[in-house]
A and B are shown apart, each in its own frame.
Chain A
Amino acid sequence: MSDEKKNNEDRGDIKEALMNLLNSSATGGNQFVTFSIANEEYGIEIKSVQEIVGHRTLTYLPNSPRFVKGILNLRGNVIPVMDPRIKFSMQEVEYDKTSVIIIVKANQKNVGIIVDQIKDVLTIESNHIEDAPELSDRIDSKFINGIGKVGEKFVIILDVNKIFSHEDAQQLAA
């Protein structure tokens, strides 16, 4: 119980710090918001991140692709939310209290991505980012912009435009 509470507080702190950062640094050339999905760390360029909201009940949208978990109301705007686990063909899990929705701007549209946990905001210089491997055992490499190396750990940098690309959406709907 106390662990969970602490966890929540931590998350709150990170979120707050992150929002401050989002507000203060408009440029953020090589800064990435990192998060985890299935114990793997991923990163998204900070400039495409609009907002981070806690997980909430989504409204199911009939006839939409399976990876669209539903839509949510963000101050009067309707925003579709996707689960990258489905997109990346991973095992689906129940969302819990640490689940977070990152609202990103992809292809001029605001979309939400459900992630297990928000981790950090990291600066990764471009010379520390390697090209995506041709083959990845975890996710399809077409969604990956590169692999960033931070100290000893690796961060998979995602291409938000591709993970929510229109053609894909159509294919899956069909």
Chain B
Amino acid sequence: MLDAKEDKQFQERLKKIFVEEAQNLLADLEEQIVILDPERPMDILKEAIATVFNVVHSLKASTGSVGHTRLSQFLHSFEFFLDDIRKDKISINAEVIDQIILITNEVREGMLFVLNNDIDPPLEPLKFDNVVKIDSKKNAQASVVEQSAAEVTASSSLSILDEVIALEPLKMPEGKLYEINLRFGPGVMRGGNDPILYFKMLKDYGEFINLQCDSSAIPTYSKFIFDELYLSWKIHYKSAQEKKLIEDLFVFVRQESDIAINEIKQEQTTKNATATATETTTAIEAVVATTSSPAEEKTPAAEKTTTSNVSFTSKMVLTKAAKDNDEAEETTGSSSNKNAVTSIRVPIGKLDELVNVVGELVIISSQVKNIIKEIEDRKIKKNLETKNEEASRLIDDLQDRIMNVRMVPIDLIFSQFYRLVRDLSHKLKKNIKLVIFGQETELDKNIIEKISNPLKHLVRNSIDHGIETIEERKAKGKSPEATIELKAYHQEGSIFIKVSDDGKGLDKERIYKKALEKGLINEGQNLSDSEIYNLVFVPGFSTAKEVTDISGRGVGMDIVKKAVNELRGDISLETQKDIGTTFCIRLPLTVSIIDGLLFQVGAQIYIIPILSIDETLNVQEKQVHTLDGNREVVSVHGVNSNLVRLHHLFKIPTGITEATKGIIINISINGKKFSLLADSILGQQQTVIKSLDKNFEKVAGVTGATILGNGDIAIIVDPSEIVELHKKSIPYLKTLTQKNIN
């Protein structure tokens, strides 16, 4: 369990992550909206809608994870709508597209509202009839009557009462204008006084012009006391009554409260009136904690609880509120905008450009060095040499720093999971402990951004489907407390992220049956256990019995796999009945930089990731054997490893074809050893991967290319793909494997 201080920090961090993520997702959403034009061809529209669906899905998850239940529910309903379109249940026409754009705008405004005010916006889940009809304004209006905010912790049987004070659109009443600051004592409700009563009384004697609620005093949930009042209000109020009478309204609470009533003089009044008149603020909703009727609701997300809500009846106001946030902050004096981000988003392309420029600098610096050698004046030569060395040191430093900009610790996403696991386990009445290892492991920002959602899917999936209920666990003789483990580490030039649970494991029979039903496999098809388990990664497969907001609706493992593959990684799983399931994601360290070993084959230079290398060595004749007639192996320290002739594999003419004359680079792939034969080794260097797909396409066995100090290009090889190529290209290995099968 986290203590209160840690918890606070943790909440702050969560919020920060949420804001960054939400901003990115919003940007994605914007891009798609531009595409949505009924004039465009259907396939483009469909693709855009599918993307909007995915973004909405992610937004739903992240808003849910920081406790913005209403927004999350709103998104959930939108997702349903999109899903129907995606599945062709609703055909795409201009009207539907208009609806999507309309709702998307609302999502955007809702999100902006959250980002600026850090409170759940007043949105209600959309209701769709078979014929899609929504009047967004009406919808927003209805949302004033809140239904979802009433939540309370399990420890007490108290509920939070919602009450709404609706205000008429502005018409200036006769009388004096007052500014009332209400700061009731924190224990006011324990004395049986409900602030709402005072608002009602005030309403009997006059009219509200403007009302602002300051909710900044609400503590984190662990410090939240249910019958304590944390809200204060600032009211512009117009009444024909004298100040004295208004003051008297508060006579019972004046002692413990801080209540200030000031009359605003006439010239101020006009000024104020014009200021307020421009606003269309028409309703204020105050949800106040109070000790009344018991309720059984207990949504864990509400622990943090939105005890206060300022909501507006019209969606225009919502936007306006978001925009005018700075103003609002001034008047309330609250610090509601805690989400100011101190980092900036930079397109990765700009970093690449920087790296290119630095690369050019390196080349020029080495050329200067050569020129200096030809200088005859010893003094000038010496000075120039010193200065040039300094310059190249700075260039190296610059290069390192640029590279470093991209790297961020995986903690950035791991830490979100405490909340997710805690909330979900409460919701599903499961007892789950989250254990995290290796959160300091650094990954490329690009990868971090793209791996976050797949990981969330995996964790949700484990909680939802993997881990049994407390009763089931007890019945099986397992500890009632389940464990989910998140682990990240470096190995063999890659980053590994493992998501493990000690749940029931995958159900082989059910997967097989399901795959059969879905037509993914044929009747009677013989599959190994691991082949069956891997069916979960096939598109269209999802074992969830029903749609829940926890692990989505079949947007499951196939999306996870796709996302991982796009990062040049792969995913595998291990599972054992009643022991648990482990998903293992292998990712490249970075999408763009590797520490490489430079070696030569023929006339060209190649690079292999250093981290994939076990050792490099020269071998003697007696260490090289031919097995099974034609399989060449190298025996090192008594272990045989397959010889991979790179010159043969790459079809490069070279003078060195004897294993004893070249150099052997030993690598391990999936626990098996391979010996790559190269001509010679040239050294090691940090290199920037230039993708070939950008101007060409993916080439088997090749990760990309890099530009060396002298401007030449070196090819970066992918060790595991080389091994695959080797297996395919050598006929004797093929026959060998066939023999084994037979």
Once the chains bind, are A62 and B692 in contact (CB under 8 Å)? Answer: no
* Given contact pairs A62-B650, A63-B699, A169-B697, A72 touches B713 in the complex (Cβ within 8 A): yes
Report the minimum CB–CB distance from A35 to chain B (whole Å): 21
Report the minimum CB–CB distance from A109 to chain B (whole Å): 5
Once the chains bind, are A166 and B701 in contact (CB under 8 Å)? Answer: no
Chain B CB within 8 A of A36 CB: no
Once the chains bind, are B701 and A71 in contact (CB under 8 Å)? Answer: no
Once the chains bind, are B696 and A80 in contact (CB under 8 Å)? Answer: yes
Q: Which residues of A contact B704 (CB under 8 A)?
A: 78
Once the chains bind, are A77 and B690 in contact (CB under 8 Å)? Answer: yes
Q: Mark A42-65, 1 if CB is under 8 A from B, else 0.
A: 000000000000000001111110
Once the chains bind, are A61 and B356 in contact (CB under 8 Å)? Answer: no
Chain B CB within 8 A of A79 CB: yes
* Given contact pairs A76-B360, A76-B707, A166-B697, A62 touches B713 in the complex (Cβ within 8 A): no
**Whole-angstrom distance between the alpha carbons of A62 and B645 in the complex?**
13
* Given contact pairs A78-B692, A78-B713, A111-B695, A62 touches B356 in the complex (Cβ within 8 A): no
Chain B CB within 8 A of A20 CB: no
Chain A CB within 8 A of B283 CB: no
Q: Mark B67-86, 1 if CB is under 8 A from A, else 0.
A: 00000000000000000000
**Whole-angstrom distance between the alpha carbons of A165 and B651 in the complex?**
24
Number of interface residues of A (CB under 8 A): 21
Once the chains bind, are A64 and B699 in contact (CB under 8 Å)? Answer: yes
Q: Which residues of B contact A73 (CB under 8 A)?
A: 707, 711-713
* Given contact pairs A59-B715, A60-B604, A111-B695, A76 touches B702 in the complex (Cβ within 8 A): no
Chain A CB within 8 A of B172 CB: no
Chain B CB within 8 A of A75 CB: yes
Chain A CB within 8 A of B714 CB: yes
Chain A CB within 8 A of B273 CB: no
Chain A CB within 8 A of B652 CB: yes
| B359, B652, B697, B725 interface centre (most CB from chain A within 10 Å) | B697
**Whole-angstrom distance between the alpha carbons of A118 and B696 in the complex?**
24
Report the minimum CB–CB distance from A86 to chain B (whole Å): 15
Once the chains bind, are B652 and A62 in contact (CB under 8 Å)? Answer: yes
Q: Mark A89-120, 1 if CB is under 8 A from B, else 0.
A: 00000000000000000000111000000000
Q: Which residues of B contact A78 (CB under 8 A)?
A: 690-692, 694-695, 704-705, 707, 713
**Whole-angstrom distance between the alpha carbons of A161 and B594 in the complex?**
33
Once the chains bind, are A63 and B650 in contact (CB under 8 Å)? Answer: yes
Once the chains bind, are A80 and B692 in contact (CB under 8 Å)? Answer: yes
* Given contact pairs A76-B360, A78-B695, A80-B692, A62 touches B705 in the complex (Cβ within 8 A): no
Chain A CB within 8 A of B649 CB: yes
Q: Which residues of B contact A166 (CB under 8 A)?
A: 697
**Whole-angstrom distance between the alpha carbons of A64 and B694 in the complex?**
15
Once the chains bind, are A63 and B702 in contact (CB under 8 Å)? Answer: yes
Once the chains bind, are B649 and A77 in contact (CB under 8 Å)? Answer: no
**Whole-angstrom distance between the alpha carbons of A78 and B699 in the complex?**
14
**Whole-angstrom distance between the alpha carbons of A111 and B692 in the complex?**
11
**Whole-angstrom distance between the alpha carbons of A63 and B696 in the complex?**
13
Residue of B nearest to A57 (CB): B712
Chain A CB within 8 A of B380 CB: no
Report the minimum CB–CB distance from A61 to chain B (whole Å): 6
Q: Which residues of A contact B359 (CB under 8 A)?
A: 76
B712 in complex: contacting residue of A59, A75, A77, A111, CB < 8 Å: A59
Q: Which residues of A contact B651 (CB under 8 A)?
A: 62
Report the minimum CB–CB distance from A57 to chain B (whole Å): 8
Once the chains bind, are A75 and B697 in contact (CB under 8 Å)? Answer: no
Chain A interface, DSSP helix/strand/loop, else mixed: strand
132-168 of chain A: CB within 8 A of chain B: 166
**Whole-angstrom distance between the alpha carbons of A60 and B713 in the complex?**
9
Once the chains bind, are A71 and B713 in contact (CB under 8 Å)? Answer: yes
* Given contact pairs A72-B713, A77-B690, A63 touches B695 in the complex (Cβ within 8 A): no
Q: Which residues of B contact A75 (CB under 8 A)?
A: 356, 360
351-379 of chain B: CB within 8 A of chain A: 356-357, 359-360
**Whole-angstrom distance between the alpha carbons of A76 and B712 in the complex?**
10
Q: Which residues of B contact A60 (CB under 8 A)?
A: 604, 652
Chain A CB within 8 A of B700 CB: yes
Q: Which residues of B contact A110 (CB under 8 A)?
A: 695
B695 in complex: contacting residue of A59, A62, A77, A169, CB < 8 Å: A77
Q: Which residues of B contact A59 (CB under 8 A)?
A: 604, 705, 712-715
A63 in complex: contacting residue of B356, B360, B725, CB < 8 Å: B725
**Whole-angstrom distance between the alpha carbons of A68 and B357 in the complex?**
27
Q: Which residues of B contact A61 (CB under 8 A)?
A: 692, 699, 702, 705, 715
Report the minimum CB–CB distance from B304 to chain A (whole Å): 47
Report the minimum CB–CB distance from B47 to chain A (whole Å): 17
Q: Which residues of B contact A77 (CB under 8 A)?
A: 356, 690, 694-695
Q: Which residues of A contact B715 (CB under 8 A)?
A: 59, 61-62
* Given contact pairs A77-B690, A111-B696, A63 touches B713 in the complex (Cβ within 8 A): no
Q: Which residues of B contact A72 (CB under 8 A)?
A: 713
Once the chains bind, are A63 and B694 in contact (CB under 8 Å)? Answer: no
**Whole-angstrom distance between the alpha carbons of A79 and B696 in the complex?**
8
Report the minimum CB–CB distance from A16 to chain B (whole Å): 23
Q: Which residues of B contact A76 (CB under 8 A)?
A: 356-357, 359-360, 690, 707
Report the minimum CB–CB distance from A78 to chain B (whole Å): 4
**Whole-angstrom distance between the alpha carbons of A76 and B725 in the complex?**
29
**Whole-angstrom distance between the alpha carbons of A163 and B359 in the complex?**
32
**Whole-angstrom distance between the alpha carbons of A62 and B705 in the complex?**
11
Report the minimum CB–CB distance from B352 to chain A (whole Å): 9
Q: Which residues of B contact A62 (CB under 8 A)?
A: 649-652, 699, 701-702, 715
Q: Which residues of A contact B700 (CB under 8 A)?
A: 63
**Whole-angstrom distance between the alpha carbons of A62 and B704 in the complex?**
11
**Whole-angstrom distance between the alpha carbons of A78 and B690 in the complex?**
7
Q: Which residues of B contact A109 (CB under 8 A)?
A: 694-696
Once the chains bind, are B701 and A63 in contact (CB under 8 Å)? Answer: yes
**Whole-angstrom distance between the alpha carbons of A131 and B227 in the complex?**
85
Residue of B nearest to A74 (CB): B695
**Whole-angstrom distance between the alpha carbons of A149 and B650 in the complex?**
44
Q: Which residues of B contact A71 (CB under 8 A)?
A: 692, 696, 705, 713
Q: Which residues of B contact A80 (CB under 8 A)?
A: 692, 695-696
**Whole-angstrom distance between the alpha carbons of A60 and B702 in the complex?**
12
Q: Mark B681-701, 1 if CB is under 8 A from A, else 0.
A: 000000000111011110111
| A80, A111, A166 interface centre (most CB from chain B within 10 Å) | A80
**Whole-angstrom distance between the alpha carbons of A72 and B650 in the complex?**
18
Q: Mark B588-609, 1 if CB is under 8 A from A, else 0.
A: 0000000000000000100000
Report the minimum CB–CB distance from A21 to chain B (whole Å): 24
Q: Which residues of A contact B650 (CB under 8 A)?
A: 62-63
| A61, A62, A76, A169 interface centre (most CB from chain B within 10 Å) | A62
Residue of A nearest to B690 (CB): A78
Q: Which residues of A contact B652 (CB under 8 A)?
A: 60, 62
| B359, B649, B651, B705 interface centre (most CB from chain A within 10 Å) | B705
Report the minimum CB–CB distance from B362 to chain A (whole Å): 11
Q: Mark B314-355, 1 if CB is under 8 A from A, else 0.
A: 000000000000000000000000000000000000000000
Q: A62-B651, A62-B702, A109-B696 provided; 18 other pairs, C-beta below 8 A?
A: A59-B604, A59-B713, A59-B714, A60-B604, A60-B652, A61-B702, A61-B705, A68-B696, A71-B696, A73-B713, A76-B356, A76-B357, A77-B690, A78-B691, A78-B704, A80-B692, A80-B695, A169-B697
Pick 28 A–B contacts, CB within 8 A, sort by A: A59-B604, A59-B712, A60-B604, A61-B692, A62-B699, A63-B700, A63-B701, A63-B725, A64-B696, A71-B696, A71-B705, A73-B707, A76-B359, A76-B360, A76-B690, A76-B707, A77-B690, A77-B694, A77-B695, A78-B690, A78-B705, A78-B707, A79-B695, A80-B695, A109-B694, A109-B695, A111-B695, A169-B697
Q: What 9 A-B pairs come out closest when comparing CB atoms? A: A76-B356, A62-B650, A59-B713, A80-B696, A78-B690, A109-B695, A78-B705, A63-B700, A110-B695
